[in-house]
């Protein structure tokens, strides 16, 4: 089984780098579509949009609709649950009877569980008792498949970068970590939010975070010729070895660039926008 993970596209319509973000997202989907073999599934681990607006979701849905593989989305701290739910409701996997954007996909050799780690108080992660109970219920549905869990906020301390803890408290993060260990069948945790690549673990469960697809918001140092090329993760599952993660650098392709009035697309200008918030 092959999973393509993308994250933190931060689609917006009115910042100086809005066109670049749209281009980064479109190039990434085109690159994933060109993979052979292609992924069984694409998972977007949140911050789909930058302001959670309906018009931003409309653009994101249109881009994701170009994907050949089925695509699933999580909510990030920049997303708006109600607008996200409305934008993606037609795909049928978002429960209508829950306040949270959390669900399980059972169609593959590995079960996929998407969690909602949003806080109403800050851009950091939260995971209340209700969500712990729901996670334990989701993990208990089947007994024989391994589980890959997807979160926006990483449930481990990311010791590169200025901020190690991305939950509101150690206590909150520990509650999620204990829940993830509960079933004994979670084999990997894949997250976003940090905008840089890193790896850690949840009491022995391998856990990774991936860079932001939005190259203008990506953290860490990259060679000059990579600065406008998005980076995403391919997770390949083997029953004997578990997941192996490959980092892929999107190839530059002019044929998927946004066009203006039918004219050939311009090369994007050097982005001058920086975002202090994840
Ligand atoms: Fe983000």
Output the CA 193–ligand 1 centroid distance in Å. 5
Confidence of residue 278 (pLDDT cuts 50, 70, 90): low
Measured between alpha carbons, how far is 226 from 216 in angstroms, rounded to an integer? 12
Q: Name residues whose C-beta falls within 8 Å of residue 182's C-beta, 6 or more positions apart in sequence.
A: 135, 136, 139
Output the CA 218–ligand 1 centroid distance in Å. 9
The answer, yes or no, to whether residue 84 has pLDDT greater than 70, is: yes
**CB-count burial class (<10 Å; 0-12, 13-18, 19+) for 236:** middle
Output the CA 201–ligand 1 centroid distance in Å. 21
Q: Name residues whose C-beta falls within 8 Å of residue 40's C-beta, 6 or more positions apart in sequence.
A: 1, 2, 3, 69, 70, 108
- pLDDT tens digits, residue range 155-209? 999 998 888 999 999 999 999 999 999 889 999 999 999 999 999 999 899 999 9
Q: Which of residues 268 and 74 earns the better pLDDT score?
A: 74
Output the CA 38–ligand 1 centroid distance in Å. 26
Summarize the chain as % helix, strand, coil (round to 5).
25, 25, 50
Measured between alpha carbons, how far is 198 from 38 in angstroms, rounded to an integer? 24
Q: Which of residues 265 and 161 earns the better pLDDT score?
A: 161
Output the CA 153–ligand 1 centroid distance in Å. 9
Model pTM score = 0.91
Q: Name residues whose C-beta falls within 8 Å of residue 58's C-beta, 6 or more positions apart in sequence.
A: 87
């Amino acid at each position: 089984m092959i999973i393509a993970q993308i994250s933190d596209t931060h689609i917006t319509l009115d910042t100086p780098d809005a066109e670049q973000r749209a281009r980064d997202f479109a190039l990434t989907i085109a690159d994933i579509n060109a993979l052979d073999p292609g992924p069984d599934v694409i998972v977007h681990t949140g911050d789909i949009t930058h302001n959670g607006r309906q018009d931003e979701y409309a653009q994101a849905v249109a881009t994701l609709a170009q994907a050949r593989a089925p695509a699933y989305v999580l909510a990030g701290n920049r997303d708006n649950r109600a607008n996200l739910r409305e934008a993606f409701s037609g795909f049928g996997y978002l429960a209508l009877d829950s306040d949270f954007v959390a669900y399980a996909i059972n169609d593959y050799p590995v079960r996929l569980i998407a969690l909602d780690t949003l806080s109403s108080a800050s851009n950091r992660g939260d995971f209340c008792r209700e969500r712990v109970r729901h996670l334990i219920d989701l993990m208990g549905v089947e007994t024989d498949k391994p589980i890959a869990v997807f979160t926006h906020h990483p449930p481990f301390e990311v010791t590169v970068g200025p901020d190690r803890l991305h939950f509101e408290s150690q206590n909150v993060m520990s509650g999620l970590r204990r829940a993830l260990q509960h079933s004994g069948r979670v084999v990997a945790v894949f997250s976003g939010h940090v905008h840089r690549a890193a790896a850690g673990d949840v009491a022995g469960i391998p856990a990774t975070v991936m860079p932001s697809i939005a190259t203008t918001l990506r953290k860490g140092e990259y060679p000059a010729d990579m600065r406008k090329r998005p980076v995403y993760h391919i997770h390949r599952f083997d029953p004997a070895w578990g997941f192996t993660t490959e980092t892929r650098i999107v190839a530059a392709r002019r044929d998927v660039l946004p066009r203006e009035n039918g004219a050939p697309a311009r090369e994007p200008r050097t982005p001058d926008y920086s975002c202090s918030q994840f």
